[in-house]
Amino acid sequence: MNATGKKFEAVTIKGTAGGLLCRLLDDESIEFSDVLAELSDRLSAGEKFFRKGRFSVELGNRSLEKDDFDSLLEIFNRFDISIEAIISGVQSTRSQAKLAGIPYNLPNNQNTRPALVAEGSGDKNGPRGGVHPFDTAEAYFIRRTVRSGQVIKHHTDVVVLGDVNAGAQIIAGGSVIVWGTVRGRIDAGQNGDGEGAVICALSLKPTQLGIHNVVAMGNTETLNDPEAGPEMASLQDGTIVLDSWMPRRGRLRG
């Protein structure tokens, strides 16, 4: 909440080829302490995915002095997160990065987007519909079987064109779809705001399923029913529920 009692989202995290990009609200009408509080909450909620990650941090046009910059570093250090670069349009903030020995860059079209604006801040040029913690257009497609001992981690949705064998694990910020049999462990909705995530498979025989912060063990009749067919697991009223999943069939038109 801001001083007027209106809700805002101050943190968004986007996956890039070099790691994760964390963008912090640079609206000066919002106290930086509130921005840091939301950052801490987001990282705590998604700790399983974020811990020991590599982040670039984009601060837009917010000016940070030493105390605020140190507070920012302390939060990332708490989760063993490495800061690869600070992206800032303000000299004073880049100076703090230099003093801390962290590489820094000016904002550009490749490493940032227009400044975030808090909902209700009065800037009509801001993003509509609010901002979201992840860029969901970056699903990870795996065109093979995930074998025992392999751990796949991705910040949004994961699609496997193959099986997930016993001893394998997938940790996804969003949903997981397996065009095959799941015998290993699946943890979906691990981005801290993942109650709406689902797990779908042609055959679900997992050792364990997790959605958000709820876990279901695989040694149950429901999860190992050989006649179940394709199923979808979702979170309903704090419980993981299985429903029949019928992948839609269509006919190609020439």
* pLDDT tens digits, one per residue of 43-53: 998 888 888 88
User: How is the chain split into domains, by residue range?
Assistant: 11-105, 140-244
Common-topology check for domains 11-105 and 140-244: no
Backbone angles phi, psi at 201, to 5 degrees: -155, 155
**Residue reference for tokens 């004073």:** 92
Is 169 strand, coil or helix?
Answer: strand
Residue 137 per-residue DSSP state: T
pLDDT over threshold 80, residue 173: yes
Q: pTM value?
A: 0.54
* pLDDT tens digits, one per residue of 72-103: 999 999 999 999 999 998 888 999 999 999 99
Distance set, CA 206 to CA 106, 160, 199, 213 (Å): 46, 15, 11, 17
- The CATH architecture one would assign to domain 140-244 is 3 Solenoid (2.160)
Is residue 244 packed enough to be buried (19+ CB in 10 Å), middle (13-18) or exposed (0-12)?
exposed
Backbone angles phi, psi at 35, to 5 degrees: -65, -45
**Residue reference for tokens 């209700």:** 120
Query: Using an 8 Å Cβ cutoff, are 191 and 132 in contact?
Result: no
Per DSSP, helices labelled H in 174-223 are none
Q: List Cβ neighbours of 191 (8 Å cut-off, separation of 6 or more).
A: 13, 45, 46, 49, 133, 134, 155, 156, 173, 174
Query: Using an 8 Å Cβ cutoff, are 252 and 229 in contact?
Result: no
pLDDT over threshold 70, residue 8: no
* pLDDT tens digits, one per residue of 211-243: 988 999 875 555 555 566 899 999 998 899 998
- The CATH architecture one would assign to domain 11-105 is 2-Layer Sandwich (3.30)
- HSE at residue 36, side-chain half, CA atoms within 13 A, is 15
Render 101-122 in DSSP notation, one character per residue.
T--EE---TTT--SPP--TTSS
